[in-house]
């Protein structure tokens, strides 16, 4: 499978052979969905926390006598049926949302997500990101020259690139990642990927 390679002026500069074992796999939405949900769960924090009737303050004294008042009998105002009382079966901050993901399944889902981007024309390759200087306006100009129709992008670099990160930090809907850090959640939540040739090779080495 071949794809076009562009330069920083948005012009075609050649072609690159993509590995079929990474970018040509058959896409199975059920596998991608399974890994996506697991990764979302693993980023979830249990903030909600309620108190049961033994943890709320007050209510040590019986609110009124058991008999003779004509009202229903109650033993404590901390009961869940009272306003301000404890909560029965409420959410607790000790809940664990972590979901185990099989390593091979995660890698397969990543390849499927990349293959889907290639098949839908949302995977773009450039020679490199060697701009003259790390200026945001240069990267914005580069995006405008590229023949892309998408509006949100993942920029994949070969290893950590402080210059590219600096250039893209202030651009809405543009995220810069190392090729080895890409995940299914990143790919599903972004419309297109722009990768350097070296980043593509890193992906093929990691997933191939």
C-alpha 181/C-alpha 202 separation (Å) is: 11
Do 38 and 125 have their domain in common? yes
Do 106 and 184 have their domain in common? yes
C-alpha 7/C-alpha 128 separation (Å) is: 7
Q: Report the chain's C-alpha Rg in angstroms.
A: 27
Range of the domain at 134: 2-44+100-207
pLDDT at 72: 95
Do 203 and 121 have their domain in common? yes
Instruction: Tell me how crowded residue 112 is: count the other CB atoms within 10 A of its CB.
Output: 20
Half-sphere exposure of 121 (CA within 13 A, CB side): 5
Do 27 and 90 have their domain in common? no
Do 57 and 28 have their domain in common? no
pLDDT at 160: 87
- Three-state DSSP class for 3? strand
Do 56 and 33 have their domain in common? no
Please state the domain count of the chain.
2
- Three-state DSSP class for 196? strand
**pLDDT digits over 157-206, tens only?**
998 889 999 999 999 999 999 999 999 999 999 999 999 999 999 999 99
Q: Is 160:138 a contact under the CB 8 Å cutoff?
A: no
pLDDT at 159: 86
Per-residue confidence at 58, pLDDT binned at 50, 70, 90?
Answer: confident
Do 88 and 125 have their domain in common? no
**pLDDT digits over 120-158, tens only?**
999 999 999 999 999 999 999 999 999 999 999 999 999
Instruction: Tell me how crowded residue 20 is: count the other CB atoms within 10 A of its CB.
Output: 11
Per-residue confidence at 60, pLDDT binned at 50, 70, 90?
Answer: confident
**pLDDT digits over 26-40, tens only?**
999 999 999 999 999
Across the range 50-75, mean pLDDT stands at 93
Helices (H), the chain: 20-23, 29-42, 103-119, 136-145, 162-168, 184-188, 197-207
Q: Is 182:143 a contact under the CB 8 Å cutoff?
A: no
C-alpha 187/C-alpha 193 separation (Å) is: 8
**pLDDT digits over 86-102, tens only?**
999 999 999 999 999 99
C-alpha 162/C-alpha 1 separation (Å) is: 31
Q: Is 62:75 a contact under the CB 8 Å cutoff?
A: yes
For 187, counting Cβ atoms within 10 Å of its Cβ (0-12 exposed, 13-18 middle, 19+ buried), the class is buried
Do 71 and 90 have their domain in common? yes
Per-residue confidence at 59, pLDDT binned at 50, 70, 90?
Answer: confident
Do 27 and 16 have their domain in common? yes
Contacts with 151 (C-beta within 8 Å, 6 or more apart), sequence order: 173, 191
């Amino acid at each position: 499978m071949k794809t076009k390679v562009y330069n920083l002026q948005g012009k075609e500069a050649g072609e690159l052979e993509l590995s079929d074992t990474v970018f040509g796999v058959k896409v199975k939405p059920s596998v991608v969905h399974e890994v996506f949900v697991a990764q979302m769960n693993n980023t979830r924090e249990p903030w909600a926390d309620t108190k049961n009737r033994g943890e709320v303050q007050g209510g040590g004294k019986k609110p009124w006598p058991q008999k003779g008042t004509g009202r229903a009998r109650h033993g404590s105002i901390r009961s869940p049926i009272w306003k301000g009382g404890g909560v029965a079966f409420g959410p607790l901050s000790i809940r664990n949302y972590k979901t185990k993901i099989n390593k091979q399944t995660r890698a397969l889902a990543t390849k499927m997500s990349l293959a889907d981007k290639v098949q839908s024309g949302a995977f773009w390759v450039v020679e490199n990101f060697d701009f003259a200087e790390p200026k945001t306006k240069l990267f914005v100009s580069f995006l405008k020259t590229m023949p892309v129709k998408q509006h949100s992008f993942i920029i994949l670099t070969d290893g950590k690139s402080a210059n590219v990160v600096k250039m893209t930090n202030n651009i809405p809907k543009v995220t810069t990642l190392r090729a080895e850090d890409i995940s299914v959640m990143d790919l599903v939540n972004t419309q297109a990927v722009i990768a350097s040739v070296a980043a593509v090779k890193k992906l093929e080495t990691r997933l191939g």
